[in-house]
A and B are shown apart, each in its own frame.
Chain A
Amino acid sequence: MEAKRVYLDSSIWISHILQEKRNNRAQTVQQLFHQIEEDEGVILISHLVLLEVLEVIRKRITENEPYTDLGDDKKKEITDKVQEKTNLFLKVLSRLIREHRVALIDSQKPVDQWFKATYSIFVSSSGDISAHNYYPDGRRRALPKYQYRGVGHYDIQHALTAQEFSAGDLHTFDQGFVELEGHQEFEGMNFLIHR
């Protein structure tokens, strides 16, 4: 029997490397890895996920560095830290890929077909409009502000890549993927959206 293929969204990898405490997500990821190992499944990681994870590493390290000054030395210090963690992540990932526990994938479709598929799903999804009356820092707004939340084109491309490589499941913490559940394009693939 062929091994089950499981696509992990970037939020799953980020949660694992940061050991996220929110909603016990790090534990959820640990159990997920354990289950995949037990089922002798294959984890799919796309170039899109890889780049997103590397970008989060870069931003997270930079934005968490305590401010002292903005000289060249400081910039080099931060850049070196980013490079060290990036290399570490890539080395470990390379091992997983070499051991065929993780497959590094990207779409094999021509770019025009790829964007046509993305576009057709994007325009058929309308998302949701809500209102909120708080600023990001928690202060109350004088007037509520409308907010659009819906599936983004990156979400669609993650799902399309997973589908192209016959992933049985797509795991994520991002509720935006809810809108792709039940879409005919993704028939046969389960969207497992964790809290």
Chain B
Amino acid sequence: MVVLQPGKKWDAQDQRERRAPPSDIESGRPSGETWGKREMSVRYPLNEIVAERTREWLSTPEPMPWHINRSIENATLPVSMLSREIDELRQIVQELKESNSALQSRVSALERGLTREVTANSLWEISDNNLLALEDVSGITTPPGREQDPLDALKGLLIEYSDETVDSVELVRSVRGK
């Protein structure tokens, strides 16, 4: 149903009767211009007032936790509420996921740190045990009291198998299967 506002009603009557606005209105200005001015003065202030009141009403804070759906169309009320609730829950789930992930990382880091600490503290115990195992497997015994520094003794141990083309990286890669 179309409801004519007062301005529109007046316009419609004028147009039906092909009647020009009174010449004395708007201080004798040309008729077209005067006609337009009259429309503005009746129609727009009313719209503005309605819009202003609507804005004021919408901007009033809603009491929590009750949500009042202020939608003009009643049909969308449950949908918009559900959508909003879903969005809020999704947000909460996301936040929980992030905090859970952060906690998991922290626990893993602490576990790794603890293992490392225990392992690092028993370095020589592990090393001594490994040496015993190595000597046992290889049949090697370590004669004490040699004069040459062991690191110097290793220097050039395979010098007769070396040449200009030797590339230690390639040699290691060849046994790493690369």
Contact = CB atoms under 8 A, between A and B. Distances in A.
B158 A18 contact: yes
B150 A92 contact: yes
Interface string A21-56: 110010000100100000000100001001010011
B18 interface: no
A91 B172 contact: no
Given A16-B154, A19-B155, A152-B178, A105 B169 contact: no
Nearest to A100: B124
Judged by DSSP, the binding face of A is helix
Nearest to B157: A17
Contacts of A103: 123-124, 126-127
Q: Would you call the interface of chain B mostly helix, strand, loop, or mixed?
A: helix
B127 A90 contact: no
A106 interface: yes
Contacts of A174: 169, 172-173
A108 interface: yes
Interface string B147-178: 00011011111110110101111011111111
B161 A61 contact: yes
B151 A33 contact: yes
Contacts of B176: 52, 152, 154-155
A49 B97 CA distance: 41
Interface in A48-90: 50, 52, 55-57, 59-61, 64, 85, 87-90
A99 interface: yes
B116 interface: yes
B115 to A, nearest CB: 7
Interface in A126-168: 152, 154-155, 163-166
A25 B168 contact: yes
Given A18-B162, A64-B161, A56 B172 contact: yes
A64 B162 CA distance: 9
B131 interface: yes
Given A60-B158, A97-B131, A21 B116 contact: no
Interface of A: 5, 9-22, 25, 30, 33, 42, 47, 50, 52, 55-57, 59-61, 64, 85, 87-101, 103-106, 108-109, 152, 154-155, 163-166, 173-176
Given A16-B155, A18-B171, A152-B177, 10 more contacts: A60-B171, A85-B158, A91-B143, A92-B153, A108-B119, A155-B176, A164-B115, A164-B116, A166-B119, A174-B169
